[in-house]
Structure 1
Amino acid sequence: MNLRSRDIVPISEARARLTELAEEVVGAGAEKILTKNGSSFVALVDARKLDYYHALEAEHAGLVLLQEAEEGLRQVLSGERVSAAELMQALADSTDQ
C-alpha cells in the first residue's frame, strides 16, 4: 500500500483526531504513520491486517526452519557431519563470543 502525505500525521494532531483517523484506517483501508518530532513513531493499522501480518510472519518463520532442516538433511546425506565433541565445542565457542 502506498502512503500519501495525508497518511502521515503528527502524534499531537492524532490525539485530537484519533476517532476520525481510526475510521479512515478501518473504513478506507488506509494506514497512518504517526510522527513524533518529525520522525516516524507508530502506525495505525486495521487490527485484521495486523493479525494477517502476524500470520505471515509466523509462516515465514516456518519456511525458514524448513529450509534449515532441508539444508541439514542435504549435509547429512552428502556426508558432511561433525562429531558430538566438535558440535559441543562449536556451541561453547559461540556462547563465548
Structure 2
Amino acid sequence: MAIAVRDIVPFSTARTHLSDLVLEVQNGAEKIITKNGEPAVAVIDAKRLDHYHRLEHARIHLLLLEEVDQGLADVKAGRTVDAKAGINALKQARKAARGRAAG
C-alpha cells in the first residue's frame, strides 16, 4: 500500500489531533509521523501489526525448513562430519581466532 501525502503527518499535528489520527488508522489508514521534516514513526492498526508479526514468524519457520531440507540433502549426499571431529574443528577454529585477536 502506497503512502499518500495526506498520510504524512507532522508530529505537532499528530499530537494535537491524536484522536482523529487513531480513528483514521483504525479505519485502515497508515500514517507516517514526521519530526523536523523527517519520517520518525509509522502508525498502523494493532491488528495489522499483529498480522505483520505473524508473517515474520511464518517466514522464520520457512527459512528453518529450508535449512532442514538442505541438511537432509547434505546427509543424503554424504556431506557429513563426525560429531566429535566437527566439535574439535570448531574448538580449534575458535582457539586460532582468539590467538589472532590477542596477537
TM-score interval for Structure 1 and Structure 2 normalised by the shorter chain: 0.7 to 0.9
Q: Any residues of structure 2 matched to 1:8-87 within 5 Å, and which?
A: 8-27=8-27, 29-87=28-86
- Residue aligned with 2:32, SS: strand
- Residue aligned with 1:34, SS: strand
Q: What stretches of structure 1 of length at least 5 have no aligned partner?
A: none
Instruction: Report deviation, 1:50.
Output: 0.7
TM-score normalised by length of structure 2: 0.81
Instruction: Report deviation, 1:64.
Output: 0.4
Deviations 1:26-71 (A, max 9, x none): 12x1100111222221111011101111110110010000000000
The match for 2:2 is 2
Instruction: Report deviation, 1:10.
Output: 1.4
Identity of aligned residues (%): 44
Q: Which runs of 4+ in 1 moved over 6 A?
A: none
- Residue aligned with 1:30, SS: coil
Instruction: Report deviation, 1:83.
Output: 2.5
TM-score normalised by length of structure 1: 0.86
**Pairwise CA RMSD:** 1.9
Instruction: Report deviation, 1:90.
Output: 3.1
Q: What stretches of structure 2 of length at least 5 have no aligned partner?
A: 99-103
Equivalenced residue count is 95
Instruction: Report deviation, 1:17.
Output: 1.0
Which of the pair has more CA radius of gyration?
A: 2
